[in-house]
Each structure stands twice: as structure tokens, then as C-alpha cells.
Amino acid sequence: MGSRQTVAVFGAYGHTGRFVIAELMERGFVPVLSGRDADKLKALGYETGLDAHVASVDDPASLDRVLADAAAVINCAGPFASTTAPVIEAALRAKIPYLDVAAELEANIDTFAHFTDRARNAGAVIVPAMAFFGGLGDLLATAAMGDWTEADEAHVAYALSSWHPTSGTRLSGAVSRERRGERRMRYTGGRWEYRTDAPPTLEWRFPEPMGQRSVIGEFTMADAVTLPSHLSIPEVTTYMTVEAVRDITSPSTPTPAAADESGRSDQTFLVDAVVRSGGTERRAVAHGQDIYAVTAPLVVEALDRILTGRTRAVGVAAAGAIFDAPDFLRALFPHITLELLP
């Protein structure tokens, strides 16, 4: 796999970008490092021995130079509200696939809204949110659907042992809050609803041995954008364990610390995706370690499948729409352990 194909990585020196670079090299691709910070690029280029090129979303020609000989581009540079559109435009000019790891709701909504028709008409492939948030939950819910063509509800519950946010996560969150003000977002009745009340605290029964945990309900993540983009489900709700919410909202929570030679933290996760239709419920569950690190095998597996023609759609497509969800999830072992439950 990889066949020494060149892949441009924008935001290569960020926390997630470094995991993506390592995964690309492991799978035989040749990453081209790019981003706005010349000093960080130079240091990473020296560390990895890879070509590095400064590029800015404010300078389309610089993006064109980076993408000129690339087979695809992966955008790891947040805040994605600023980077998605310019990098997608450059990918369309270069006629190469675009993938990103955006967890920002607004950035993902904008990608579907602004590029769906253009990408489909051009036969281009654009995969937003191909990451832990947005991609993994979408794949799990799609796998749980099985032969169903529609469902009444989808629920994606996240149990994180802790959540030490990166500086990029904090910055992206600040940009999202600035865009929506004091409002929060919820996908209900087949549309987006803006609310000013506090999200509810609920109890969620995760599969054993985790069991029942307190969660913040309507803690809306990118899955609420990706799932209804291709599945007929009018109610999509996501949840987060209260301890993880406490971590990410506290300004004193430190950034992730490496716990092994790969750079992964000791954070563990369980993602519980449930779809309901009438009185029937189906479920898919994923276990793994480090939500930032696991984004790398997710997005690189997606890249490999796109470049080898193992896809089901063109245009702007969520993970579950463009890939065979159960097969994709099984291919992620040992990074992710999958359970499909009745």
C-alpha cells in the first residue's frame, strides 16, 4: 500500500498532523510537509527527512505549488473555519482528492453547503471530518444500520477516560463559540436547532464492563453533520462523559502527554453508536487509545481506499457514504476494536 505516492499534509507540524505523517510513512506514502509556520516546518523536515514547503491559505499560489505533484491532500490545520475552503479550492484546481480531520461543526456544515454540487459535477472526492469525531461515529452508526435504509434516531455516546485538549482543539473551540455566540447546536427534526439553555446531564448505559455513566446530552459533535448527510435519520444526538467535559472546559487541563514510544497518550475511549427504528435497536461499539492518535489510521485508511478506487461515491461524502463501513472498521484493527451488537 502507498506505492510511494506523494501526499501533501497541510498543518503537518500540529499534534494530529505528526501522527498522520508517521502513519503515511508506515504505509508507504511520501508525505510533503506544509503549513504556515516556517520554523516549525523546518524543524519537522529536519526531524523526518521529508520535503517541507511553507504555504498559506492567504496565498493560493503557495498552496498550488505544494499540491502540484501530490496524489491527494490531507488538511490537519485548524481552525478549520479558516483553512477548509482555501485548501479545498486548491485541491479542486489540482484535481486531487481532499480529506480533512475537522471536528468543527460549522466548518463541516460549510463544506457540505458550499462544495457538494461543484465536487459532484467535477467528479472530485472531498471527505470532511475523516477523524475520531465525525468519521468514526459515522462509520459505526452506518455499520449498525446494516440493511436499514432509514431510522428514527441515531445516538453516538463517547466515554473518554480523560480529555487533555491540544492547543488546536482549544483554538478551534474558541472559533466555533465566536461564530455561534452563546448558542449551542442540536440536530433534531431533520434540521439544525440553536438553543441557549444548558445541555442536559443524563445517564447512558455503555456496554460492560463500563456500564452506566453520567453524560452531557446534546454535546453536539461532527457526527451530527456527517450522519444526516447520507442517512435518513431525523434525530442525531451525541453525548460525552461528564469527566471528559470537565477536562476540556477547564483552562488548567494540560495538553496530551506521550505514554509510549509512538507518542500516544494513555487516554482510552469507547464509542457507542446506537440506531433505533420503531421498537428495534442496533448498536456498534469501538474501543481504542488516544483520540488524536487514532485519527491517523482513520484518515490514512480513507486515503488509501480513495487512491485505490475502493469507494462508493464522488463529491463531498461522509465516511459512511463513501466506504463500506463494516469492512473499513475491521481494517482499523488493532488501532480500533469493533463490536457489532444486536
Q: How many whole angstroms separate alpha carbon 279 and alpha carbon 4? A: 50
pLDDT at position 180 = 87
φ/ψ of residue 198, rounded to 5: -75, 145
Q: How many whole angstroms separate alpha carbon 273 and alpha carbon 249? A: 24
What's at 291, amino acid-wise?
I
Cell matching residue 306: 480513495
pTM over 0.75: yes
| Axis crossing angle, helix 167-180 with helix 80-94, rounded to the nearest 10 | 100
Q: How many whole angstroms separate alpha carbon 335 and alpha carbon 5? A: 23
203-to-53, 140, 206, 211, 217 alpha-carbon distances in Å:
48, 21, 9, 10, 9
pLDDT in tens for each of the 342 residues of the chain?
A: 566 899 999 999 999 999 999 999 999 999 999 999 999 999 999 999 999 999 999 999 999 999 999 999 999 999 999 999 999 999 999 999 999 999 999 999 999 999 999 999 999 999 999 999 999 999 999 999 999 999 999 999 999 999 999 999 999 988 888 888 889 999 999 999 999 999 999 999 999 888 999 999 999 999 999 999 999 999 999 999 999 999 999 999 999 999 999 999 999 999 999 999 998 999 999 999 999 999 999 999 999 999 999 999 999 999 999 999 999 999 999 999 999 987
pLDDT at position 1 = 57
Query: Domains (ranges, CATH) in the chain?
Result: 6-131+295-322 (3.40.50.720), 133-291+327-341 (3.30.360)
Residue 80, strand partner residues: none
| Contact in structure between 164 and 265 (CB atoms under 8 Å) | yes
89-to-35, 99, 226, 317 alpha-carbon distances in Å:
16, 12, 21, 16
Q: How many whole angstroms separate alpha carbon 141 and alpha carbon 192? A: 19
Q: Is 146 helix (H, G, I), strand (E, B) or coil?
A: coil
Q: How many whole angstroms separate alpha carbon 24 and alpha carbon 28? A: 6
